């Protein structure tokens, strides 16, 4: 079978790999759709080191049908079941985070597609070791949700966690979402579902081509381009008025955003950082202490995020479809990565 394989920092090959063998405890998933994520771009363009020993198949946002089930696997899983992977590939199962079911926060977590084989291929193995203690590493896809839409569960649960669970949004509050990639857009959707009175999306001029429309569809009441504004802090305060911004989601990651966000987030507000950058902070953080602002790091989601987002998608309140810009056959992966890099697409889905 063909796979998009990460062979080193910024080294990607489209090549033949062995179909995984199903052990007695494993499940083999036939991949029907796999989304290109921002972290895939970091690997692809050499901005981030592979998180595990190379080579491995990339892609962590994948959905499909169960093709094979090992004889020791819980009988709740059967061939033909439609499922989406939560993309945890391994965890210790016993640390404080695992004991709570927060497997993403396990120090020994392996991520399918980021540190071990993932979904940019036809078949992927869900390891039996993990299935023994983490049944929800696979989630059933509701009948009215397509495989393509189901791949969006990863960023959707991520945004939900950032805004609702970590950010603690209360209905009526004003939210800023910095960055309008998939995580930013899904954070906007979560803020809208959580009852934000105003949602100010901040992107770049280049986002106006495709992502601004999705941001507005997902509930952004305002769209600002950071390279069009002279004074972003003043502009945000003008829009927010006296109430001020209660919650800022940094889904872009540049260090300057934290400095700006501290200035436009109101006293006792919160800033949740999802975005990534290896650049250092060259600013004083005194004002975040003076303003009693909470700044929180954020990684992924937990089972509550997945459960609630699937329920919201099933009942039609969470739109997983509008963010999908296009579907491409797997062999056109390079085109998909380029469209994502140039911000011409909000989300590209690859079909094996
Ligand atoms: Zn992702
Ligand atoms: Zn653990």
Q: Which ligand is closest to the CA of 98, given by its number?
A: 2
Ligand 2 centroid–CA 132 distance in Å is 14
The b/e string for 140-152 (b: 16+ C-beta within 10 A; e otherwise) is ebeeebbbbbbbb
Is the bond preceding residue 328 a cis peptide, omega within 30 degrees?
no
Whether residues 56 and 11 share a domain: the answer is yes
Residue 308 lies in a domain: no
| Alpha-carbon distances, residue 88 vs 72, 138, 204, 226 (angstroms) | 20, 9, 32, 35
Residues 176 and 286 occupy one common structural domain: yes
- CATH number for the domain spanning 335: value is 3.90.180.10
- Whether residues 159 and 28 share a domain: the answer is no
Q: Is the dihedral of CA 162, 165, 167, 170 positive or negative?
A: positive
Within this chain, do residues 222 and 169 fall inside the same structural domain, yes or no? yes
Task: Tally Cβ neighbours within 10 Å of residue 237.
Answer: 16
Ligand 1 centroid to 241 CA: how many Å?
A: 34
Nearest ligand to the C-alpha atom of residue 347: 1
- Structural domain for 280, as ranges: 155-297
Ligand nearest to the CA of 102: 2
Closest ligand to Cα 99: 2
Q: How far is the CA of 158 from the centre of ligand 2 (A)?
A: 19
Residues 159 and 258 both lie in one domain:
yes
Residues 78, 170, single domain; the answer is no
Does residue 315 sit within a domain? no
Q: Which bound ligand lies closest to the C-alpha atom of 151?
A: 1
Q: Classify residue 214: in a domain, yes or no.
A: yes
If asked whether residues 143 and 195 sit together in one domain, one would say no
Cα 155 to middle of ligand 1, angstroms: 6
pLDDT one digit per residue (tens) for the chain, 352 residues: 999 999 999 999 999 999 999 999 999 999 999 999 988 999 999 999 999 999 999 999 999 999 999 999 999 999 999 999 999 999 999 999 999 988 999 999 999 999 999 999 999 999 999 999 998 899 999 999 999 999 999 999 999 999 999 999 999 999 999 999 999 999 999 999 999 999 999 999 999 988 999 999 999 999 999 999 999 999 999 999 999 999 999 999 888 999 999 999 999 999 999 988 888 888 888 888 999 999 998 889 999 999 999 999 999 999 999 999 999 999 999 999 999 998 888 899 999 9
Burial of residue 268 (number of CB atoms within 10 Å: 0-12, 13-18, 19+): exposed
Give the ligand whose atoms come closest to the C-alpha of residue 106: 2
- Report the predicted TM-score, pTM, of the whole model to 2 decimal places: 0.94
Find, among 321, 252, 265, 335, the residue nearest to 295 by Cα: 265
User: Are residues 290 and 344 located together in one domain of the fold?
Assistant: no
Are 108 and 174 members of one domain?
A: no
Q: How many Å lie between the centroid of ligand 1 and the Cα of residue 38?
A: 6
Cα torsion 250, 256, 258, 259 to 10°: value is -150
Shared-domain flag, residues 26 and 74 = yes
C-alpha Rg value of the chain to the nearest Å: 20
How far apart CA 274 and CA 190 sit, in angstroms, is: 14
């Amino acid at each position: 079978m063909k796979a998009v394989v990460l062979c080193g920092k910024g080294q990607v090959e489209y090549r033949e790999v062995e179909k995984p063998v199903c052990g007695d405890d494993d499940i083999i998933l036939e991949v029907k759709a796999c989304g290109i994520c921002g972290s895939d771009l970091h690997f692809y363009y050499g901005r981030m080191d592979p998180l595990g020993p190379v080579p491995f198949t990339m892609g962590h946002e994948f959905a499909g049908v169960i093709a094979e089930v090992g004889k020791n696997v819980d009988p709740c899983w059967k061939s033909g079941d439609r499922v989406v992977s939560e993309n945890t590939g391994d965890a210790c199962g016993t640390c404080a985070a695992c004991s709570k079911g927060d497997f993403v926060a396990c120090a020994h977590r392996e991520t399918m597609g980021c540190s071990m084989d993932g979904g940019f291929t036809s078949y992927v193995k869900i390891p039996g070791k993990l299935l023994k203690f983490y049944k929800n590493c696979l989630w059933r896809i509701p009948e009215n949700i397509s495989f393509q839409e189901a791949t969006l569960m990863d960023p959707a649960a991520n945004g939900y966690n950032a805004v609702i669970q970590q950010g603690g949004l209360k209905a009526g509050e004003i939210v800023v979402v910095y960055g309008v990639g998939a995580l930013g857009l899904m954070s906007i959707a979560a803020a809208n579902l959580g009852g934000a009175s105003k949602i100010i999306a901040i992107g770049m001029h280049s986002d106006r081509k495709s992502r601004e429309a999705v941001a507005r569809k997902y509930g952004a009441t305002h769209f600002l381009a950071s390279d069009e504004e002279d004074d972003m802090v003043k502009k945000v305060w003008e829009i927010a008025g006296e109430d001020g911004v209660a919650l800022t989601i940094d889904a872009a990651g540049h260090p300057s955003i934290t400095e700006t966000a501290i200035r436009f987030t109101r006293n006792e507000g919160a800033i949740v950082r999802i975005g990534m950058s290896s650049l250092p902070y060259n600013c004083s953080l005194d004002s975040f202490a003076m303003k009693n602002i909470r700044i929180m790091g954020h990684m992924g989601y937990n089972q509550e995020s997945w459960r609630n987002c699937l329920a919201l998608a099933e009942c039609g309140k969470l739109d997983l479809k509008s963010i999908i810009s296009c579907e491409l056959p797997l062999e056109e992966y390079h085109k998909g990565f380029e469209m994502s890099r140039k911000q011409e697409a909000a989300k590209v889905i690859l079909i094996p």
